[in-house]
Amino acid sequence: NAGVTQTPKFQVLKTGQSMTLQCAQDMNHEYMSWYRQDPGMGLRLIHYSVGAGITDQGEVPNGYNVSRSTTEDFPLRLLSAAPSQTSVYFCASSRTGGGIVRETQYFGPGTRLLVL
């Protein structure tokens, strides 16, 4: 198993550009999520999904879109990049038991994004 994979590893964007951060997992996990991590702020949840076709907003959803058409993939779209979106982005997945995340969240290696 590859676990959770993310592409790209690094990206530089200009303000106003759009892009999609890719995330895929091969563990058949229902729960997937996107976080951003900034110095002193910790990991903040952007969007998450409890299964194909079901997504919900996290703490900081503005400026980002997600969709979950398959169990494996959970892409994050930046609609119009802003310097405030400069951050490290992590995708994560886990199984759920009884609808509750009780088990390990597996994280991808992260995408470092710089918006100029």
The residue ranges that bind other proteins (CB under 8 A) are: 33, 35, 40-45, 48, 50, 56, 58, 90, 99-102, 104-105, 107-110
Output the smallest distance, CB 55 to other proteins, in A.
9
Question: Taking the complex as a whole, how short is the minimal distance between the CB of residue 79 and other proteins, in angstroms?
Answer: 22
Query: Residue 22 carries which side chain, given as an amino acid letter?
Result: Q
Per DSSP, the chain holds a count of helices (H) and strands (E) of 0, 11
Give whichever of 62 and 80 is closer to other proteins, judged by the CB atom: 62
| Spatial separation of the C-alpha atoms in residues 111 and 54, rounded to whole Å | 24
User: What is the SS3 assignment for 101?
Assistant: coil
Smallest separation (angstroms) from other proteins to the CB of 93: 12
When the beta carbons of 10 and 14 are compared against other proteins, the nearer one is: 10
Q: 4-14 b/e with 16+ CB inside 10 Å = b?
A: bebeeeebebe
